[in-house]
A and B are shown apart, each in its own frame.
Chain A
Amino acid sequence: GAVVSQHPSRVICKSGTSVKIECRSLDFQATTMFWYRQFPKQSLMLMATSNEGSKATYEQGVEKDKFLINHASLTLSTLTVTSAHPEDSSFYICSARDQWQHSYNEQFFGPGTRLTVL
């Protein structure tokens, strides 16, 4: 149980285009999903917290208009990188929190999406 998927696993796009990344909780309902960014050889940096049915909360320094997050259902959150540029190239990882494990705050991580902007 507690499986999180991401799609696509890899994407290459041209500079100036937009890319959408999906994060799905496959066998549980996730009221909260998190989006992280990871640069090569570095740790995960939290970008935003996505709550189902409400606006995402962005970390300081993360551009809301560039990284659009939508959490329309209890099993799906999307991250759209708008007008992508080469500096947006990174590994994006989502995680989801099972609402039935509220007291334990455990997050389940997706396999990540490698974005390359040419």
Chain B
Amino acid sequence: AQSVTQPDIHITVSEGASLELRCNYSYGATPYLFWYVQSPGQGLQLLLKYFSGDTLVQGIKGFEAEFKRSQSSFNLRKPSVHWSDAAEYFCAVGARNTGNQFYFGTGTSLTVIP
């Protein structure tokens, strides 16, 4: 069965520090992978996505993620965090079959301290 695991429920980083949010997935084939960010009371904003090709993908707001097939991971990174990055981050796996279902991780809450 497909699943997504975000091991870190909550992360606190200092402004200007680097960030890595972990995401591991379980899927029978190469999945479509996404990272979304959600501010309180808001919908989801797509940060970046991986479909195929280069395993290092660049997204908006200075985020990047690397697909590592051998580790079934798709970790999100940012070299220097800004206070405005404080939010909830969700990793999602999309099925390549006709089901089109998304599987979301439980999310990682990011707090940025000055």
Contacts and interface: CB of A to CB of B under 8 A. Distances in A.
Question: For this complex, into which size category does the number of interface residues on chain A fall?
Answer: 20 to 34
Contacts of B113: none
Nearest to B103: A46
Contacts, number: 52
A39 to B, nearest CB: 11
B21 to A, nearest CB: 14
Contacts of A111: 42-43
Question: For this complex, into which size category does the number of interface residues on chain B fall?
Answer: 20 to 34
9 closest A-B pairs by beta carbon, nearest first, are A111-B43, A109-B44, A112-B43, A105-B94, A43-B106, A43-B104, A44-B104, A109-B43, A43-B107
25 contacts: A34-B102, A41-B109, A42-B106, A43-B90, A43-B105, A44-B90, A46-B102, A49-B100, A91-B41, A93-B44, A95-B102, A97-B100, A104-B51, A105-B94, A105-B95, A105-B96, A105-B100, A106-B32, A106-B34, A107-B102, A109-B43, A111-B42, A112-B41, A112-B42, A114-B41
